[in-house]
Amino acid sequence: MNPIISARGLSKRFGRTLAVDHIDLNIPPGRIVGLIGPNGAGKTTAMKAILGLVTFDGELSVLGKNPAHERAALMEEVCFIADVAVLPRWIRVWQLIDLTEQIHPKFSRGKCLKYLAETKVTPQHKVKQLSKGMVAQLHLALVMAIDASLLVLDEPTLGLDIIYRKQFYTNLLNDYFDQERTILITTHQVEEIEHILTDLIFIQDGKIVLKASMDEVQQRYAELMVSKGQVEQARKLSPIYERELFGKHILLYDNADRAKLTELGEIHTPSIADLFVAKMKGSTREGISV
């Protein structure tokens, strides 16, 4: 099975800054991948390279094409959603549908209208008359009506309330995703995509610091909650991160002996957010080296 995205030594430099630092990637079809990193980590630059929006060094293939030289052909197979504010406010919905139909050969007007019929968005609305949640529904209807192999989402629910955010991802899973399509998501709201991801990538200072399937994350990482009396014993098992909450110590481990952890306290799989903090800060105890 050919990968949807394949990169070897992918790099991008802006002056003296190495924004993307020799990244290797191999993403097969039918995956939902979270690309997570702090501001300035290089995730947006990597995403732009994948979309053919910036030049790059190294090797990069997206759907078997080089984004730098075959962008027009590539975009027939790719959809992209950023912050929904990018839609022109003056345009009417029917004009936007007409424009999308003219631009994208794999767009289905009927499918788009079917999705919009389930919302309060009408063809006569102007974008500026819609709430941000309704604009998100419009944007998603346009995208779901395109038979694309790769969907790239860059902070797609930014500024939306929790109802619209949940609806966005529910519609995405129920009406768009299948075992042939791949979705690449970057967001700071990691808690709300945790349940839909199949794979996780953490990027920091242009480098990948974690690349694993969600199954591997569950098998590899464990959090242990202990009382103050057991904390020294827990530290001897080499946690990668430690924090304190309501008088309890929570220690995070990578490939630790779970039987030994169980003897000391309560163990569970860390959330993506907790794992992210641990990987970004490294082996620290409340900011102090252990």
CB-based burial, 186-207: b 16+ in 10 Å, e otherwise:
bbeebeebeebbbbbbbbbebe
CA-nearest of 175, 130, 182, 184 to 156 is: 184
Q: What is the pLDDT of residue 282?
A: 66
- For the chain, what are the domain ranges? 5-205, 216-285
pLDDT digits (tens, 9 = 90+) for 16-72: 999 999 999 999 999 999 999 998 899 999 999 999 999 999 999 999 999 999 999
| Domain 5-205 belongs in CATH node 3.40.50.300 | yes
Helix axis angle, 109-116 to 132-144, nearest 10°: 150
88 pLDDT tier (thresholds 50, 70, 90): confident
Give CA separation, 50 vs 105, 109, 252, in Å: 21, 27, 33
Section 79-101 average pLDDT? 86
Task: Kindly give the pairing relationship between strand 182-186 and strand 207-213.
Answer: unpaired
Place of tokens 């800060």: 281
Task: Confirm if 133 and 163 have CB atoms less than 8 A apart.
Answer: yes
CA-nearest of 213, 152, 227, 150 to 181 is: 150
pTM exceeds 0.75: yes
CA-nearest of 117, 114, 169, 176 to 151 is: 176
146/143 Cα distance (integer angstroms): 5
Section 124-146 average pLDDT? 89
Note the Cα 37 to chain centre separation in Å: 10
CA-nearest of 217, 242, 216 to 231 is: 242
Q: What is the pLDDT of residue 84?
A: 52
pLDDT digits (tens, 9 = 90+) for 204-236: 999 999 999 999 999 999 999 999 889 999 999
Section 241-256 average pLDDT? 92
